[in-house]
Amino acid sequence: MKFLPLLVIIAFGISGCDNAKQDAIKAVQNASNHTATTLMIAPGYKVNIDGQPVPISGTDDCQLTAKDVVSLGDTEGQTSRACIVIKPDTKAVQVQVGLASGSVSERWTVVHSGESTLLQRADGSYVEYARD
């Protein structure tokens, strides 16, 4: 564990070398006894897009019964296929974004970074949750 800070620095300091970065991230996860977690985002969950809070939804089954699931938004009682499910090996997700001008479909890249999962839009910007 005394090398964990060094591994974190290596993982986030390497640019342009995806294999080395992934190896460092795996080493951090193994050193911390990290259990892979699945994220489930409920339909209507709000994120900031261009500084505005907008609802998002997906195309995945909301009745996921896997262990180690972390839910964002109210997934209780959801029976639709409008959730966004991000498993530890997910590379990209299809998302419906409820913009003021209308709903648009976007493909977001999933960036697994240690214990964090980031969503990146096609324009390179990262998605943030909307603070109410």
Same-domain check for residues 19 and 49:
no
Q: Which amino acid is at 39?
A: L
Q: How confident is the model at residue 91 (pLDDT cuts 50, 70, 90)?
A: very high
Q: Which residues constitute the domain of residue 55?
A: 36-129
Please count the structural domains in the chain. Answer: 2
Strand order in the sheet with 52-57: 116-120, 102-113, 92-99, 52-57, 45-49, 128-129
CB atoms within 10 A of CB 84: 26
Whole-structure pTM value: 0.69
Q: What is the pLDDT of residues 9-43, one digit of tens each?
A: 333 343 444 554 455 445 444 544 556 688 999 99
Lowest mean pLDDT among 16-30, 51-65, 95-109: 16-30
DSSP, res 90:
-
Same-domain check for residues 122 and 82:
yes
Same-domain check for residues 82 and 111:
yes
Same-domain check for residues 125 and 73:
yes
